């Protein structure tokens, strides 16, 4: 039975030991932590999950571990992007065989990424898999610009490409442009949740982001969908300093793993190379930000 892909999906970090090996114990711990925080689903092996720093076998181990730990409680979307189309297809098939609800795929870097080439890529993949595809639109990673017109055409041509992970600013304007052209996409925002409230106002179905305090985003989403707009705005505005600080360019993943470590969600905040470390001042500022928004004990679920 297919699982509904909607709401707040946590893009799961990948825990590593201090010697840069996969930390399977922490991975299971992190899965249960995010589900306890109310995540509607998990997206694994995205950019935040450091998938590009892992071997194919390691990626398969992450998929198997997460899906086994989730045990059907929520849908799991697996990032299967790869520069080689055959490998992308193989990873996608393996993900669905393991029990994934969908796969998230971004185009690889291309010499001349025309609309026809990008649509052709997804069409080729769709000849091999007929399960849900989440189209990832994130130009900073691959340099591929997907226009609203092209995305609408893609949605019309590929029946199982029904989900869009959108991180191409200005987000709200692009959501509006896509919505004006097609109703076939469920659209998810990202960018650390910085524009969640506005994205929902433009018709987004939720967000996929790695923000370390999933329960805050869940509370905003639920209040908004239940028509309690004032409450959604209150929660969003109150925690926006934390959302903003965590999503700093260059060091956002480093901060995010540090926060997850402080929350007790993983044993170590280790990242694989290459990554940018944070300095002593940033460590102090993290504590300052938490205090400013009223989070005295980050290991506990935030009381909203």
Neighbours of 140 (CB within 10 A): 10
- CA 9 to each of CA 36, 189, 213, 219: distance values in angstroms, whole numbers, following the listed order: 13, 10, 12, 13
Neighbours of 274 (CB within 10 A): 6
Cβ distance 133 to 125 under 8 Å?
yes
Catalytic (active site) residue 165:
yes
Nearest CA to 219 out of 75, 38, 73 is that of 38
Cβ distance 139 to 145 under 8 Å?
yes
Q: What is the three-class DSSP state of 43?
A: strand
Catalytic site residue from 60, 165, 174, 257: 165
Distance from C-alpha of 225 to C-alpha of 222, rounded to nearest angstrom: 5
| CA atoms 156, 159, 163, 168: torsion sign | negative
Cβ distance 27 to 16 under 8 Å?
no
Distance from C-alpha of 154 to C-alpha of 174, rounded to nearest angstrom: 15
The residues, ordered by sequence, that sit 6+ positions from 214 with a Cβ below 8 Å of its Cβ are 8, 10, 34, 37, 38, 39
Q: What is the three-class DSSP state of 102?
A: strand
Nearest CA to 43 out of 16, 78, 71 is that of 78
Catalytic residue list: 165
């Amino acid at each position: 039975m297919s699982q509904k892909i909607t709401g707040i999906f946590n893009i799961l970090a990948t825990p590593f030991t201090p010697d840069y090996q996969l930390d399977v114990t922490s991975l299971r711990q992190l899965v249960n932590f995010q589900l306890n925080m109310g995540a509607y689903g998990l997206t694994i092996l995205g950019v935040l999950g450091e998938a590009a720093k892992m071997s194919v076998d390691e990626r398969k181990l992450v998929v198997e571990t997460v899906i086994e730990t989730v045990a059907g409680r929520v849908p799991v979307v697996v990032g299967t992007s790869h520069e080689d189309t055959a490998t992308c297809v193989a990873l996608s098939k393996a993900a669905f065989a393991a029990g994934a609800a969908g796969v998230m795929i971004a185009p690889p870097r291309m010499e001349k990424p025309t609309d026809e080439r990008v649509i052709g890529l997804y069409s080729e993949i769709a000849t091999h898999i007929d399960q849900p595809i989440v189209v990832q639109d994130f130009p900073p990673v691959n340099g591929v610009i997907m226009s609203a017109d092209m995305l609408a055409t893609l949605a019309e041509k590929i029946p199982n490409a029904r989900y869009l992970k959108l991180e191409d600013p200005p987000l709200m304007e692009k959501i509006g442009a896509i919505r004006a052209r097609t109703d076939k996409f469920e659209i998810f925002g990202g960018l650390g949740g910085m524009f969640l409230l506005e994205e929902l106002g433009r018709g987004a179905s939720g967000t996929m982001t790695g923000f370390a305090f999933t329960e805050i985003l869940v509370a905003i989403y639920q209040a908004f969908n239940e028509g309690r707009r004032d409450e959604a705005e209150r929660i969003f505005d109150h925690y926006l300093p934390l959302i903003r600080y965590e999503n700093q360019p260059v060091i956002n993943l480093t901060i995010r793993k540090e926060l997850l470590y402080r929350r007790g969600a993983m044993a170590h905040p280790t990242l694989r190379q290459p990554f940018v470390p944070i300095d002593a001042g940033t460590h102090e500022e993290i504590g300052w930000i938490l205090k400013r928004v009223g989070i005295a004990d980050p290991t506990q679920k935030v009381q909203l």
